[in-house]
Amino acid sequence: MTNRTRLTVELAGIVQGVGFRPFVFGLAVSLGLTGSVTNTGAQVVCVVEGPPEVCDEFLCRVESEAPPLADVQKITAVVSVPTGVSGFVISASSHVDHERSSAVPPDIATCAACQAEAANSADRRYRFPFVCCTECGPRFTVVQDLPYDRSATSLSSFALCDSCRSEYEDPGDRRFHAQATSCADCGPQLTGASLAEAVEALSGGSIVAVKGLGGYQLLCRSDRSEAVQRLRDRKHRETKPFAVLVDSVAMAEQLVELSDAGRAALEAPAAPIVLERARSSSIVAPEVAPGTRLLGLMVPATHLHAMLMADVGVPLVCTSGNRSNEPIVIDDEVAATAFGDIADLVVSHDRRIERRADDSVGQISAGSFQLLRRARGYAPGSIALPSSGPTVLGVGAELKNTTCLAVGDRASVSVHLGDLENPATLRAFEETIVDQIAFADADVALVVHDMHPEYLSTKFAANQDLAPTLAVQHHHAHLASCLVENNHNGPAIGVILDGFGWGPDGTAWGGEFLVGDAHGYERSAFLAPVGLPGGAQAIREPWRMAVAHCLGALGDVPPLVRSLFDGERLDAVAALCASPTTLETSSVGRLFDAVAALCSLQRTVTYEGEAAIALEGLAAGCDQRGQGYSWSETDAAALISAIVEDLDAGVELSLVAYRFHWAVADFVASTCVRLSEQTGLDTVALSGGVFQNRLLVELLLPMFDERKLRVLRHGQVPPNDGGISLGQVAIGRAHLAASRK
């Protein structure tokens, strides 16, 4: 008898819903091995029998040649005595007792092969809106339970027709075990308005609601000001930019200056919204993205969107189907009433969306793609943790909330949920936590929340009975989030610049240099605090911060600045700054607001960061680059004095804005050099919403390079508060590990 062996290979990670079993089948059969492959919910288990050297080759190639959407995070192999099994089979998924995976695969935009079929009039799926295969289509948004099998998805009520079934059962077919596959005969059907009606309405300038992968979206022509303005009025969304749907990368090139990284991001399987610099010649109406030079574009994620785009022929505004600040609508009955006074038509279908996923948003920062809103196509994909440990839940911050569950050695960040002060968003937050825990089927050992006593996520943590709680400082969580994402173990110099985070001293932090890691930190430097006159009012009215910074720097408000804010309640605000009961803040986000107001940009804003975005745009348009204001102290007084002097001298505003950006970069770099000398650390982690600023990062990176400091930045997880929950679980794990010692 020839020398044979039996090899059992277990693969964990994103291995479900990505064509893994057909791939294993094909590989094993091509190598002449016998055995089986099965999904257990936690992993894919392959059992192969054959000559030992062939089994070794199988083990090698099963990892190196895995399908493009798979992410093998762990692989184990055990050799045993062969049983003489003949043939190779794909076994039905089995529910076994071991730990279930939280690795539900994310949704994937229609792949090229499916697009080609849907465009071919001779194909049986010609113009079929729901075309998909093992390499594309809905997953996270249709999964009801694990393991990922059709019977546990919202496709279960659509019985496969004979043609689809034979593809589904044929190991040589692209749709072998494609759980969401169907065709016009057996699959979901469009409901509500027809495609032709929607195309006609859109062409004529109407607003149409469309049921997408992760929720309803609102569409209208992007080239008609009155259509875009009507959408703003009806949605109660004043100035926050809208994204635009294009049919192809070629159409994107006409609207924005597309970088190589931007092109790659647009074509990524997740099909996110990608922000790039808008072309001045673009046909997109100014109402689409007022106050910013950037425009967010995405390509169709489903063939339904592709057909709408092809038939209308012009780029379409495509925004979440919701009222301002509410979660994206996924329920058909809710849609029928919610869009009554927003959309002129609703295009829906009868495949249920099991859980919501907004469109993801990212930008190209210093040549690489960086997510700003992590949702459809990315969530619930997980991030590697330094080691395995107890299950920890992070409930996130208040704004741009996400939640995160650490199970084993992986942390899964939820989809972007939004601002918790909205009651419907708060409900979605609670549902998401229940959902995450149910999928993981694990007992939570610790619930980690922000130190801010008034955050609704903090109140949730205080009132739950899952596990004990741990309060974590906001900027410490930002630091830990950046370290985990970059797989950096050990301390670093964290530069955390953002809007607002509760400090243990009762002031509002936001311009912090924290030296440390997940185990702890030292607040080594920070921007000298100034008054935050009127609290939240100061966030909505950046001119108040201009007054606060002038008072801090100059002791009074100079005549020029008075004239800028003529008619505002300036003296009342100045009195507030002087009041001992006014909260103080070291926020660099608020410093950007102050300078934007001094540069005559936004006096008031409708969303946080709006003034800073306008200031960055102004500075980016400056053509006299070079050095800026000299400012190396943590006290911004010298900086503000220099700005007021320039304004008095009539220096061009774009140059003032540029010099300010340079000064912030120089201040950050020189402070890091000082801390590096003090601590011996040479790694800097950049986090916080201010680091969404592309110009700041562009100026900063060469400064770090020159000073031989290594930089860690966010990419897969947002630098804004969407990344807080990941940092919280990392700190929670460190806390548990330390308390066990």
Choice between 159 and 560, CB closer to Zn ion: 159
Choice between 114 and 246, CB closer to Zn ion: 114
Nearest distance in Å: CB 736, Zn ion: 24
Nearest distance in Å: CB 132, Zn ion: 5
The piece of 182-190, 279-287, 455-463, 511-519 that touches Zn ion (CB under 5 A) is 182-190
Nearest distance in Å: CB 137, Zn ion: 6
Nearest distance in Å: CB 174, Zn ion: 7
Nearest distance in Å: CB 399, Zn ion: 8
Nearest distance in Å: CB 286, Zn ion: 31
The piece of 157-165, 333-341, 378-386, 399-407 that touches Zn ion (CB under 5 A) is 157-165
Q: Return the residues of window 389-408 that contact Zn ion according to CB under 5 A.
A: none
Nearest distance in Å: CB 521, Zn ion: 15
- Please give the structure tokens belonging to residue 410: 């992986």
Three-state secondary structure along 66-93?
CCCCCEEEEEEEEEECCCCCCCEEECCC
Neighbours of 599 (CB within 10 A): 23
The piece of 63-71, 277-285, 308-316, 498-506 that touches Zn ion (CB under 5 A) is 498-506
Nearest distance in Å: CB 92, Zn ion: 21
The piece of 128-136, 194-202, 319-327, 665-673 that touches Zn ion (CB under 5 A) is 128-136
Nearest distance in Å: CB 162, Zn ion: 8
- DSSP structure class, residue 329: P
Angle at 253 between CA 217 and CA 368, to 5 degrees: 85
Residue 107: C-alpha distances to residues 103, 104, 113 (Å): 12, 9, 17
Closest CA to 325 of 420, 195, 461: 420
Nearest distance in Å: CB 475, Zn ion: 7
Choice between 123 and 435, CB closer to Zn ion: 123
Choice between 102 and 134, CB closer to Zn ion: 134
CA distance 581 to 218: 45
The piece of 136-144, 250-258, 327-335, 365-373 that touches Zn ion (CB under 5 A) is 136-144
Choice between 218 and 588, CB closer to Zn ion: 588
Choice between 6 and 303, CB closer to Zn ion: 303
List of residues 6+ apart from 53 with CB closer than 8 A = none
Question: What residues are paired with 496 via a beta bridge?
Answer: 512, 687
Q: Return the residues of window 94-113 that contact Zn ion according to CB under 5 A.
A: 111
Q: Could you say which of 721, 727, 728, 735 contacts Zn ion (CB under 5 A)?
A: 721
Choice between 164 and 636, CB closer to Zn ion: 164
Q: Could you say which of 46, 114, 210, 551 contacts Zn ion (CB under 5 A)?
A: 114
CA distance 509 to 689: 13
CA distance 249 to 298: 9
Residue 267: C-alpha distances to residues 141, 241, 370, 389, 606 (Å): 21, 22, 15, 36, 32
Closest CA to 554 of 640, 628, 648: 640
CA 123 from centroid of its chain's CA atoms? 36
Strand residues in 264-389 grouped as ranges (E): 273-277, 294-298, 316-320, 345-349, 361-365, 368-373, 382-384
Q: Does 183 bind Zn ion (CB under 5 A)?
A: yes
CB 687 within 8 A of CB 456: no
Helix axes 637-648, 653-679, angle to 10 degrees: 160
Q: Which residue is it, tokens 């046909």?
A: 283
Choice between 186 and 554, CB closer to Zn ion: 186
String of contacts with Zn ion for each residue 454-493, x by CB under 5 A: ----------------------------------------
Q: Does 31 bind Zn ion (CB under 5 A)?
A: no
Choice between 362 and 589, CB closer to Zn ion: 589
Nearest distance in Å: CB 327, Zn ion: 21
Q: Which residue is it, tokens 């059962």?
A: 169
Nearest distance in Å: CB 164, Zn ion: 3
Q: Does 514 bind Zn ion (CB under 5 A)?
A: no
Torsion angle of C-alpha atoms 571, 573, 574, 575, degrees rounded to 10: 90
Nearest distance in Å: CB 431, Zn ion: 24
Choice between 133 and 201, CB closer to Zn ion: 133
The piece of 114-122, 429-437, 455-463, 622-630 that touches Zn ion (CB under 5 A) is 114-122
Q: Does 136 bind Zn ion (CB under 5 A)?
A: yes
Q: Could you say which of 133, 611, 640, 664 contacts Zn ion (CB under 5 A)?
A: 133
The piece of 75-83, 97-105, 129-137, 262-270 that touches Zn ion (CB under 5 A) is 129-137
3-class DSSP state of 4: coil
Give exposure, 120-142, as e/b (b: 16+ Cβ within 10 Å): eeeeebebbbbbbbbbbbbbbbb
Name the percent of the chain in helix, strand, coil, to the closest 5.
Answer: 35, 20, 45
- DSSP structure class, residue 400: S
Give how many residues touch Zn ion by CB under 5 A.
Answer: 12
String of contacts with Zn ion for each residue 681-720, x by CB under 5 A: ----------------------------------------
Question: What residues are paired with 36 via a beta bridge?
Answer: 47, 89
CA distance 684 to 493: 5
Nearest distance in Å: CB 212, Zn ion: 17
String of contacts with Zn ion for each residue 159-178, x by CB under 5 A: --x--x--------------
Closest CA to 245 of 237, 236, 255: 255
Q: How far apart are the first and last CA of the chain?
A: 55
Nearest distance in Å: CB 129, Zn ion: 13
Choice between 193 and 399, CB closer to Zn ion: 399
List of residues 6+ apart from 56 with CB closer than 8 A = none
CB 131 within 8 A of CB 118: yes
Angle at 149 between CA 144 and CA 153, to 5 degrees: 30
Torsion angle of C-alpha atoms 23, 27, 30, 33, degrees rounded to 10: -120
Nearest distance in Å: CB 159, Zn ion: 9
Nearest distance in Å: CB 395, Zn ion: 14
Choice between 68 and 84, CB closer to Zn ion: 68
Q: Does 508 bind Zn ion (CB under 5 A)?
A: no
The piece of 33-41, 126-134, 241-249, 323-331 that touches Zn ion (CB under 5 A) is 126-134
Choice between 115 and 524, CB closer to Zn ion: 115
Question: What residues are paired with 348 via a beta bridge?
Answer: 191
Q: Could you say which of 49, 398, 450, 498 contacts Zn ion (CB under 5 A)?
A: 498
The piece of 294-302, 309-317, 494-502, 579-587 that touches Zn ion (CB under 5 A) is 494-502
How large is the C-alpha radius of gyration of the chain?
A: 27
Computed from CA positions of residues 576, 582, 583, 584, in that sequence, does the dihedral angle turn out positive or negative?
Answer: positive
Neighbours of 331 (CB within 10 A): 14
Q: Residue numbers of the site for Zn ion (CB under 5 A)? A: 111, 114, 133, 135-136, 161, 164, 183, 185-186, 498, 721
